[in-house]
Amino acid sequence: MMRTGHPRLHWMGLVAALAAACGPDEQPEAGRALETPLVAFDTMTLRIETAEDTFRVRAEIAASDEQRSFGLMERTSLAEDAGMLFVYDEPQPAGAGFWMFHTRIPLDIAFIDAGGRIVSILRMEPCESPYPQWCPTYDPGVAYSSALEVNAGYFAERGIRIGDRVMPADGSELGAR
């Protein structure tokens, strides 16, 4: 989930909307993760090219502010070759990191430049805090144009490193929607 320099008021609005949409017997239990995302995402197949191999990931696309704010929150699992691609209209600064507020599964994140090159890879752990400001921020330390979240260990298990390329399997540009 993308973190910016201000409180996550948008997240609180999503929770309020969910509670209002549920009847009295349908309220989500505190701390219970949801199996279905509360925000809809388009998907695309990505190709990750290393010097030795090519891997495919079926990625949900987080392109709007709402989608990027919600990300993989409340998911209890992610398929082995699945992920979420966060795309931006403008390059993001080195200090614009991600956090794991209400994210239930450990993730790897690859920060990707405008040319599709991986410029930073980090492992992110779930944040158990009920307060978003208490969750650590995972800053890439370099500017980026998109970011790909996958299950923790995915990149290391496949030998995917900084400098490898991520691109849509259909040959289009990474930021194209």
* Domain count across the chain: 1
Mean pLDDT of the chain: 84
- Within-domain flag for 174: no
Name the residue range of residue 52's domain: 9-28+38-168
State the amino acid at position 142 in one-letter form.
V
Is 83 domain-assigned? yes
106-138 per-position pLDDT tens digit: 999 999 999 999 999 999 999 999 999 999 999
Q: Give the residue from 85, 151, 166 showing the smallest Cα distance to 119.
A: 166
Decide if pLDDT at 172 tops 70: yes
Asked whether residue 176 is assigned to any structural domain, the reply reads no
Residue 111 lies in a domain: yes
Structural domain includes residue 33? no
d(CA 125, CA 104): 9
How many CB atoms lie under 10 A from the CB of residue 131? 10
Distance CA 76, CA 98 (A): 19
Task: Judge whether residue 46 has pLDDT over 80.
Answer: yes
pLDDT band at residue 176 under the 50/70/90 scheme: low
CATH of the domain at 164: 2.60.120.1140
**Is the residue at 81 inside a domain?**
yes
Query: 0.75 exceeded by the pTM?
Result: yes
Angle subtended at Cα 81 by Cα 79 and Cα 82, rounded to the nearest 5 degrees? 60
**Residue 174: is its pLDDT beyond 90?**
no
13 within some domain: yes
